[in-house]
């Protein structure tokens, strides 16, 4: 089928080492030349795709996360989580997952979550005699929650590409995110209890818990403010990002007094850098999907699906397997931008809820982040610890299985994803 030939050729091109944005643009451009003899007004298509008001949320959420990291507001988060979990077997591992879960609701990025929490948590766990593989696995997997628990950069991109409600996607990610965090915690506790070589402390008193909560009040307030504002219908996703960024500035400048003009400038620089990286890929993907549409590839895909009589679940399973394989080699943003526009007509034809599919896609992309050979969180842990990659992969492997189980649950019971959006929107 033509779509597979195109995807395989694109993959081969990307494997030759060209930047993804260039590979997508060139391949799309070459297809345009082959099919219509000229490029047409392709930059106009790119211009209109990049200039989307909703996309402004990406640099602003990035700015918010950078300010919170530079302001060291999240440093207290780990201590607070540990205060609550220190009596459990593997208390530090559980605290790490909890801290990742809360930080995920601030950062919107898996790599940022793994890097920020990992830098604090891994040395602590190793100091207290935790198995290296457990320590690496917990941070790698906990970090992946960054893109599932809102705000989420990939969800924004998916929402913009498929015209799906970003608020709906954000809400759809909350329960699966909490389920995944719960499953990770359960696994960490069971594995720690079975190994039985870790120190445990006595349970924190109520007073200690209150003090810990007060210390991390501001970091916990951020997601409540941003997401609460969106769900209450006060902010749009973009306004929520701006309001969150302003709140981060207020907290770090006036309360923590840890952020100055330099930090603001550097945070804005980081935000501009990340946006350029993402939006150049978006531009390339726009060229690519534009030509696929011109070639009627999505329509052909729909026709093939109808002929194959896969049904909704069959289609979703086929897509998830394909994305799982792609995720081993490609970066999550590229996967979203390459696949979503192609399969959108098929989704519409089969009556698949785009919020449900979007959340499944993001869970799948979470797995991609900890599966070799290309897993961004694996590289992040490697960068933090300089540990052998084999050990990091071995530590992360059980979490891939857990994510797979949760994904199967989400496919079997779409209401886990759709219940909250249906209640709140």
Binding site for other proteins (CB under 8 A): 14-23, 25-26, 29, 39, 41-44, 46-47, 50-53, 55-56, 59-60, 63, 234-235, 238-239, 241-243, 245-246, 264-265, 268-269, 271-273, 275-277, 279-281, 283-284, 329-331, 333-334, 373-374, 376, 379
Which 8-state DSSP code applies to residue 216? T
Beta carbon nearer to other proteins, 276 or 401: 276
Centre a 10 Å sphere on the Cβ of residue 224 and count the other Cβ atoms it contains: 10
Buried/exposed 370-395: b ≥16 CB within 10 Å, e otherwise: bbeeebbbbbbbbebbebeeebbbeb
Give the angle subtended at the CA of 29 by the CAs of 23 and 32, to the nearest 5°. 140
Which 8-state DSSP code applies to residue 387? -
> Quick one: which of 288, 377, 379 has its CA closest to 335?
288
Beta carbon nearer to other proteins, 161 or 192: 161
Beta carbon nearer to other proteins, 194 or 383: 383
Beta carbon nearer to other proteins, 118 or 177: 118
Place of tokens 């790599």: 111
Beta carbon nearer to other proteins, 13 or 213: 13
Beta carbon nearer to other proteins, 21 or 158: 21
* Cα–Cα distance, 364 to 369 (Å, whole number): 9
Q: Is the peptide bond before 373 cis (omega within 30 degrees of 0)?
A: yes
Helix (H, G, I), strand (E, B) or coil at 159: helix
Q: How far is the CB of 2 from other proteins (least distance, A)?
A: 23
Q: How far is the CB of 51 from other proteins (least distance, A)?
A: 5
Q: How far is the CB of 53 from other proteins (least distance, A)?
A: 4
Q: How far is the CB of 247 from other proteins (least distance, A)?
A: 10
* Cα–Cα distance, 80 to 212 (Å, whole number): 5
Q: How far is the CB of 56 from other proteins (least distance, A)?
A: 5
């Amino acid at each position: 089928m033509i779509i597979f030939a195109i995807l395989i050729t694109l993959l081969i091109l990307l494997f030759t080492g060209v930047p993804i944005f260039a590979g997508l643009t060139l391949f799309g451009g070459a297809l345009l030349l082959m099919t219509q003899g000229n490029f047409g007004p392709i930059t106009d298509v790119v211009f209109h795709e990049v200039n989307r008001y909703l996309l402004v949320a990406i640099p602003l959420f990035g700015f918010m996360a950078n300010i919170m990291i530079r302001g060291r507001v999240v440093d207290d988060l780990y201590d607070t989580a540990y205060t609550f979990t220190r009596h459990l077997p593997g208390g530090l591992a559980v605290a790490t997952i909890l801290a990742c879960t809360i930080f995920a609701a601030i950062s919107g990025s898996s790599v940022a979550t793994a890097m920020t929490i990992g830098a604090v948590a891994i040395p602590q766990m190793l100091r207290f005699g935790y198995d290296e593989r457990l320590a690496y696995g917990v941070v790698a997997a906990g970090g992946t929650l960054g893109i599932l628990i809102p705000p989420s950069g990939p969800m924004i991109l998916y929402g913009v590409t498929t015209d799906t409600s970003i608020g709906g996607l954000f809400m759809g990610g909350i329960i699966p995110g909490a389920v995944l965090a719960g499953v990770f915690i359960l696994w960490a506790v069971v594995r720690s209890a079975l190994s039985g070589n870790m120190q445990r402390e006595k349970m924190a008193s109520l007073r200690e818990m209150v003090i810990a909560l007060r210390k991390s009040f501001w970091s916990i307030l951020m997601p409540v403010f941003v997401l609460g504002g969106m769900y209450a219908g006060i902010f749009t996703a973009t306004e929520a990002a701006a309001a969150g960024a302003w709140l981060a500035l207020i907290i770090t400048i006036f309360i923590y007094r840890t952020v100055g003009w330099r930090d603001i400038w550097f945070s804005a620089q980081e935000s501009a850098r990340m946006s350029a990286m993402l939006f150049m890929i978006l531009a390339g993907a726009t060229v690519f999907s534009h030509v696929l549409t011109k070639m009627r590839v999505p329509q052909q895909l729909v026709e093939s699906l109808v002929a194959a009589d896969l049904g909704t679940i069959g289609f979703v399973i086929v897509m998830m397997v394909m994305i799982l394989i792609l995720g081993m080699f490609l970066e999550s943003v590229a996967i979203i931008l390459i696949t979503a526009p192609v399969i959108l007509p098929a989704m519409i034809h089969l009556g698949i809820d785009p919020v449900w599919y979007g959340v499944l896609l993001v869970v799948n992309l979470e797995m991609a982040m900890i599966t070799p050979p290309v897993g961004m969180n694996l590289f992040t842990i490697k960068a933090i610890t300089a540990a052998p990659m084999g050990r990091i992969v071995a530590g992360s492997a059980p979490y891939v299985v857990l994510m797979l189980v949760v994904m199967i649950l989400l496919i079997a019971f779409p209401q886990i994803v759709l219940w909250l959006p249906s209640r709140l929107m």
